[in-house]
Structure 1
Amino acid sequence: MIVKKISLVVTALFSMTMFAQETASSSQEIKPEVKLSYLDSVKSTFKKNDMAARVDSLWMKELTSLDIYDDLSKDIQTINSDVTVDEELPTELLKQRLQAMNEKSPFNIEYNQGLENIIKSFLKNRKKSFSRLMALSEYYFPIFEESFARHNIPLEIKYLAVVESALNPKAVSKMGATGLWQFMYGTGKQYALKIDSYVDERSDPMKSTAAASDYFTKMFEVFNDWELVLASYNSGPGNVTKAIRRSGGQTKYWDIRPNLPKETQGYVPAFYATMYLFEYHKEHGINPERAVVKNFETDTLNIKKEMTFKQIADLLDMPQSQIQLLNPSYKLNVVPYYQGEEHCLRLPKDKIATFVSNEKQIYAYVDYQSTIRTIPSRLAAKVAPKVRAVQPEKINDSELQLYKIQKGDNLGAIAEKYDVSIADIKKWNNLRTNAVALGRTLRIKSNVDPLKKEVKSIPAIEKKSDEAIASTDDKDKNATQSQEYVVAAGDNLGSIAKKFGTTIAELKELNNLASNNIGLGKTLIVSKEVPVIEETASVNSALASNASVDSFKKGATSKKMSEDYYVKKGDSLYSISKKYPGVTISDIKKWNGIKDGDIKPGMKLKING
């Protein structure tokens, strides 16, 4: 008998334990799995490289800006070498430095008043520009020097690219000259530079420098003088020959200079002035800015499929501006693929390693993108006809349920509560994404009572009186909301995307993030600005009964004899009076003792009537 009782007790305890476990497991919150975009799923398989470079995209855009090119071009064309410039640089000291430069250069560098004026003009007006140019020179000058050394050309000619293009491979003159060395279309074709719809090799640093080296070599064979070679590069060999004839057969640049075209008269002095500032920048307090990338830190690879810069930037977590800086010959931000031809992509070495290690996945992603290619969003916005926003699907009042978004909610959890699909909720509420704004009220067509369903209960909804609802009607009308989230310790883009029912790619697009790195305390936008649907019904009343929406609206919008209105930012007496039919500006001023019409946000106004 005792054994039997013990057995019953053990059985009862075991049953209670199993029941408790089942109850605990059934009461656990069911969180829907967030689907990753195809891009995120591809990148999740990548082998990570610890040498990932940190590049400031704003600085990259600054380097590719055409501001310096425009300023220097204007200076060279307008500087009057006969006008003395007031800048602290003793003439004797300048003569000594020019002499030192002349001793180690094949150029005939001589002091003259015109050259001194141009040097002082650059020192006075272009110090900051030269600081930026020196940062760029750390990338481009090694390319120039290697090519010039191979052709036995003076290395000092590298400074000519500063005068020509301000070291901007995308520079285009008014006449159409393009690239670092400013080749015209015909000259580029003459030196076998490819120019088509996708590619312009006049902007390719290596190929255009090789073409420039060929030109310098041929012109030196003609003139046997490097200063005349520079003059012919600017104005053409024909104009130099004419100037020699008009000067009575003299062959020195400074002798024939008055007979050269006006722009060429300032061209060689500008070249010498540039050389001087690069050689003596420390003495004049010009500090080179940070070099973002150096040539030896980059490498190239051959592309096997056509790819856009955006695809490369998304896959390798790098700004498009850096790809543009390293690959300026691609005109449409696309690396094309022609059968039988090689197209190279230059990238930082660590990104090359990531690309080569994951080529299969990268090209699979490119193939996938090619099947869904559409016109660019900006172009689509311009050409698309303007239509009214699609109205949410009308829902039968008897099936209507309203749900107010609480902190931590996402569409997946809400769909589970009401036994409907996410797609239906988006259709009923005219949602374009899975992101929902905190505090927004959703319209849901469901016969399921979430309070009785064995899932996480609906958070308590604050009761509002008719007066409160009526006073908030005007506040919410035509308003927009966006949801933000402050990054906490342990957060990453994946966990935040899962929390708010969105994807990593969408978070990066909303917040203009170049990589998956996010700083502690950073505020992220987790949903786009969406129109707030005006709801004038009492939420709790709608959940409690099947009364019609019209009856709720009628009760909510009924005005009382007196009401308080709190002034919001952007309000005026005129806009407030429009919120209350039959109320004038004079009425509001009279009821509140306002004389001059001055109201401030937060101020309480009494509205009678």
Structure 2
Amino acid sequence: MASAWTSSQAAPLPTDGRYATDSFASVAPHQHLTSHFWDALELEPQDVWTNLRSDFRWQDQALNARVQEWIEYYQSSPENVAEITERARPWLAWITQQVEARGLPGEIALIPFVESSFDPKARSHFGAAGLWQIMPRTGDALGLKRNGSWDGRVDVVSSTRAALDYIEMQADEWYDGDLLLSLAAYNAGAGTVNNARRAAQSRGLAGEYWDLNLPGETMAYVPKLIAISRIISDPEQYGVALPDISGSAAFARITLDSPISLTEAANLAGVTTRELTELNPGVKSSTVDPRHARQLLVPASSADTLRAQLTAPLSGDTQLASNDSGMHIVEQGDTLSRIAMLHSVSTNDLARWNGIDDPQALRPGQRLTISGS
């Protein structure tokens, strides 16, 4: 079993026993771009820990000896708890909102703590990836696309929705709504859990999670989750300092209908390329291509700026010149990505056709071909 603190190799690992449909919302784009803020449950302006604690439901099980063992383990290294919860900063409020909107226990929002140490780029030696550590074939079954430009298992929004779908579906299909058993199946697969239940029932037990004889990492899976939630419920008691994290989602989603490079989008939004790269770990290239990924996550405070830049109309004279001659005349404030969107071409093609190595070097009056001919 891998260390509970590992960020580059998460433990325990999911299995290919996961089956669910991906309920990722589709949003029809406007002419060039639509900005969409998740219609998640609106929370009072408070920190994420207050919101999370109000949704905890399994705290009475913290007295279990197996849970106490993990409480002591985490308590022995409070700096590691603080580091992992700091890493959760961009994601935890949004994940908490998704869990709450489904009526699930708040503890489930902390599964990425156990799975990946809240590192969306975490990958195991067995091929599991992302906050929720989803295996390749499992991701395929969940409807998470994978190709050279995109990995939906690593995208936080799509993988979160798929993982929560799976947990709910397994609980309903196999376990009469018992979420602890569903979490065991998330780790070990439904076949392993069902066999363990039958064995427990043959011994006269009820077949609940705590009755089962499971693989070692699955035996520790739920205790770890409840242990860390117990510490978060009263960090002072356990000598842990949690970072201040807002209860509002840290990002907004922008839906694109034309390719845009992360660098161009960052410049338009007034943020760094690194910030956008970290918010979009599912993007495997320098450009977000709507054929593979329609959404770009941006800091919530920058979404309006990016939308305004990308939807700002060009002047009538410029549009006329473009339409009549197959050329575009650069105006003050133009960017390569906005010009590409206006003419429904890719930013990379536009740069190649015009021999542009530095997209920031555009100058007013410059004439760009928009067809490559």
Q: Which position in structure 2 is the counterpart of 1:214?
A: 165
Say whether residues 1:158 and 2:109 are aligned partners: yes
Partner Cα separation in structure 2 for residue 344 and residue 191 of structure 1: 18
1:306 Cα deviation after fit: 2.1
Letter in 2 for 1:306: P
SS at match of 1:201: coil
Equivalent positions of 1:348-497 (< 5 A) are 348-359=299-310, 361-362=334-335, 363=337, 364=339, 366=347, 368-371=350-353, 372=355
Q: Which position in structure 2 is the counterpart of 1:6?
A: none
SS at match of 1:230: helix
Q: Which position in structure 2 is the counterpart of 1:254?
A: 210
Say whether residues 1:296 and 2:249 are aligned partners: yes
Letter in 2 for 1:130: V
Partner Cα separation in structure 1 for residue 56 and residue 93 of structure 2: 19
**8 Å Cα contact 2:279-2:297 kept in structure 1:** yes
Q: Which position in structure 2 is the counterpart of 1:194?
A: 145
**8 Å Cα contact 1:145-1:155 kept in structure 2:** yes
Q: Structure 2: which 5+ runs fail to align? A: 13-52, 313-333, 341-346, 362-373
Name the % identity: 24
Q: Which position in structure 2 is the counterpart of 1:459?
A: none
SS at match of 2:253: strand
1:317 Cα deviation after fit: 4.7
Q: Which position in structure 2 is the counterpart of 1:69?
A: 7
Q: Structure 1: which 5+ runs fail to align? A: 1-65, 75-100, 375-503, 506-609
Distance 1:245 1:195, change over 3 A: same
SS at match of 2:91: helix
Q: Which position in structure 2 is the counterpart of 1:331?
A: 284
Q: Which position in structure 1 is the counterpart of 2:75?
A: 123
**8 Å Cα contact 1:138-1:294 kept in structure 2:** no
**8 Å Cα contact 1:68-1:166 kept in structure 2:** yes
SS at match of 2:249: helix
Say whether residues 1:134 and 2:85 are aligned partners: yes
Q: Which position in structure 2 is the counterpart of 1:318?
A: 271
1:328 Cα deviation after fit: 1.8
Letter in 2 for 1:327: N
Partner Cα separation in structure 2 for residue 301 and residue 104 of structure 1: 31
Distance 1:191 1:116, change over 3 A: same
SS at match of 1:161: helix
* CA distances 1:326-358 after superposition (whole Å, capped 9, x unpaired): 2122122421132xx761212124433332333
Distance 1:104 1:296, change over 3 A: closer
TM-score (norm 2): 0.65
Q: Which position in structure 1 is the counterpart of 2:175?
A: 223
1:373 Cα deviation after fit: 7.1
SS at match of 1:263: helix
1:115 Cα deviation after fit: 2.7
Q: Which position in structure 1 is the counterpart of 2:98?
A: 147
SS at match of 1:300: strand
Equivalent positions of 1:69-88 (< 5 A) are 69-70=7-8, 73=11
Say whether residues 1:280 and 2:280 are aligned partners: no
Q: Which position in structure 2 is the counterpart of 1:428?
A: none
Distance 1:295 1:173, change over 3 A: farther
* CA distances 1:346-371 after superposition (whole Å, capped 9, x unpaired): 21244333323332623238465344
184, 202, 213: which one aligns with 2:135: 184
Q: Which position in structure 1 is the counterpart of 2:195?
A: 242
* CA distances 1:386-424 after superposition (whole Å, capped 9, x unpaired): xxxxxxxxxxxxxxxxxxxxxxxxxxxxxxxxxxxxxxx
Partner Cα separation in structure 2 for residue 183 and residue 285 of structure 1: 32
Partner Cα separation in structure 2 for residue 67 and residue 321 of structure 1: 25
**8 Å Cα contact 2:265-2:306 kept in structure 1:** no
1:290 Cα deviation after fit: 5.2
Distance 1:265 1:192, change over 3 A: same
Distance 1:119 1:192, change over 3 A: same
TM-score (norm 1): 0.41
Partner Cα separation in structure 1 for residue 98 and residue 84 of structure 2: 20
Q: How many residues align?
A: 278
Q: Which position in structure 2 is the counterpart of 1:406?
A: none
**8 Å Cα contact 1:299-1:352 kept in structure 2:** yes
Partner Cα separation in structure 1 for residue 190 and residue 118 of structure 2: 24
Partner Cα separation in structure 2 for residue 211 and residue 107 of structure 1: 26
Partner Cα separation in structure 2 for residue 104 and residue 290 of structure 1: 19
Distance 1:105 1:160, change over 3 A: same
Which structure carries more relative contact order (alpha carbon 8 Å, separation 6+)? 2
1:107 Cα deviation after fit: 7.3
1:309 Cα deviation after fit: 2.1
1:109 Cα deviation after fit: 0.9
1:275 Cα deviation after fit: 1.0
**8 Å Cα contact 1:153-1:216 kept in structure 2:** no
SS at match of 1:296: coil
SS at match of 2:275: helix
Larger radius of gyration: 1
1:110 Cα deviation after fit: 5.0
Q: CA RMSD in A?
A: 3.2
Distance 1:239 1:315, change over 3 A: same
1:219 Cα deviation after fit: 1.6
Letter in 1 for 2:263: K
**8 Å Cα contact 2:168-2:179 kept in structure 1:** no
SS at match of 1:233: helix
SS at match of 1:345: strand
